[in-house]
Chain A
Amino acid sequence: MERSIENIWKEGFLESDALVAPKINNLYNQKSIHIIDKFKRMFRINLIAIVVFSFVFLAISIFVGIPITGILFFITLSVLVLINKSLLIGLDKIDRGVSSYQYLKAFNQWINKQIAINKKMSTFLYPIIFMSMILGFWFKDAEGVRLGERLVNEILIGFPNTYLVFGIPLIGIIIIVLILGLLAFFGGRIYMWDLNLVYGRVFKKLEELLTDIESLRS
């Protein structure tokens, strides 16, 4: 006798294997791996973008006559990329075979280490970038004379009593040192702001996932 769909439904679910609920804890694996893979992808793209930018900027700086800026930029960003590239190797070493909680915890530790290192580097990074701009323009050729020297000469015409230290107006040195100090002081904060702008959503998801698993474990 032909069975109705109601009977197929009822009889089908009488078997013991039909309604086995998946283990919730293990199900977090896919999600955590997905989040971390997404972060890795973004991180790699970010590093590639920095490398491309440093090359383009080097070419432009030579073209517009401020090669010192371009070279210093290039060296600084290359160091930044190399350090972060070596940090990325550490991320690849995280074992995917462990539980999702351990996996996320290991990733969280890695990210905290990465942030701490980059935050420290930012204390030097932003002042170096600023200084490279100053030096680039200072040594830029302006009709046979350095732009910096030409600027000093013009200041001395307008303000003959300007106090000079190694041929540079003291007030200029003070302003530059002040800006360098501020950049060094706020470097870490600028980096954190930049970091949240790019990776903020990934970090938020990671935090939510960790909270979820932690409450599940409690």
Chain B
Amino acid sequence: MSSDFYKTSILPFAGIIIKLCRAYTNSQEDFEDYYQEVCLQIWRSKDNFREESQWSTWVYRISLNVCLTLLKKKKNNVQHFVSDSITSDETEDNYAFSNESLNLLYDAIRKLSEIDRAIIMLYLEEKSQKEIAEIIGTNPNNIGVRVKRIKIKLKKILDGKIN
């Protein structure tokens, strides 16, 4: 990966990649691994970008797909050695932000299903329903209702009603 490409085409969207990678990982080591993989995949797939969507949407789509694939791989590996259930400890981040409220929100987001995590993060990034649907590959009409449900769920988790 040339450093020019990284500086001009990836680094401006690093924020969105970091936020997403954080939601699918629970340690600094995993986070860095996911971030690296996302950057490499963006670089490797850059020739496939056909400007049908915005570059940011495309970056988000790749980031999400890479995170979901790595998460799936990790789960499969864990299942080979231990039980197939994810304990509540696994949702806690070893490496946290200095903002406590943000940490609590991230812990809550990690308790959501993989797709719900993606939807709420896109929503928090102020993406339109159409854009969210385009990235996820679903019907835009369902996004609004889904976001409301996820927000209620998150609120309950944050209030300590759901573990």
* Bound together: yes
Interface residues of B in 88-104 (CB under 8 A from A): 97-99, 101-102, 104
Minimum C-beta distance from A6 to chain B (A): 7
* Contact A22–B2 (Cβ < 8 Å): no
* Contact B33–A13 (Cβ < 8 Å): no
User: Is B40 located at the chain interface by the 8 A CB criterion?
Assistant: yes
Say which one of B11-19, B61-69, B136-144 lies at the interface with A.
B11-19
Chain A's closest residue to B124 (CB) is A9
* Contact A5–B15 (Cβ < 8 Å): no
* Contact B32–A27 (Cβ < 8 Å): yes
- Residues of B contacting A30 with CB < 8 Å? 29, 32-33
Contacts known (A27-B36, A216-B2, A218-B2); A22 close to B97, Cβ less than 8 A? no
Interchain CA distance A12-B31 in the complex, whole Å: 18
User: Is B105 located at the chain interface by the 8 A CB criterion?
Assistant: yes
- Chain A 68-81 against B: per-residue CB contact (8 Å), 1 yes, 0 no? 00000000000000
Interface size class of B (residues with CB under 8 A): 20 to 34
Minimum C-beta distance from A20 to chain B (A): 8
Interface size class of A (residues with CB under 8 A): 20 to 34
User: Is A8 located at the chain interface by the 8 A CB criterion?
Assistant: yes
* Contact A5–B124 (Cβ < 8 Å): yes
- Residues of A contacting B146 with CB < 8 Å? none
* Contact A21–B105 (Cβ < 8 Å): no
User: Is A86 located at the chain interface by the 8 A CB criterion?
Assistant: no
User: Is A28 located at the chain interface by the 8 A CB criterion?
Assistant: yes
User: Is A95 located at the chain interface by the 8 A CB criterion?
Assistant: no
* Contact B102–A12 (Cβ < 8 Å): yes
- Chain B 1-21 against A: per-residue CB contact (8 Å), 1 yes, 0 no? 111001000010011011100
Contact of B99 among A18, A20, A31, A216 (CB under 8 A): A18
Chain A's closest residue to B28 (CB) is A22
Most chain B CB within a 10 A radius of its CB, from A3, A6, A27: A27
Cβ-Cβ contact count across A and B, 8 Å cutoff: 71
Contact of B97 among A15, A21, A215 (CB under 8 A): A15
Interchain CA distance A11-B103 in the complex, whole Å: 12
Interface residues of A in 1-53 (CB under 8 A from B): 3, 5-6, 8-9, 11-13, 15, 17-22, 24, 27-28, 30-31
User: Is A212 located at the chain interface by the 8 A CB criterion?
Assistant: yes
- Residues of A contacting B6 with CB < 8 Å? 24, 216
14 contacts between A and B (CB under 8 A): A6-B124, A8-B102, A9-B105, A12-B105, A13-B19, A18-B97, A22-B36, A24-B1, A24-B6, A27-B32, A30-B33, A215-B1, A216-B1, A218-B2
Closest 8 CB pairs of A and B: A12-B102, A27-B36, A21-B14, A12-B99, A9-B124, A22-B32, A19-B15, A8-B101
Additional 17 contacts, C-beta under 8 A, given A11-B101, A13-B19:
A5-B151, A6-B124, A8-B104, A15-B97, A15-B98, A17-B97, A18-B102, A19-B19, A21-B17, A22-B31, A24-B6, A24-B39, A28-B36, A30-B29, A215-B2, A216-B3, A218-B2
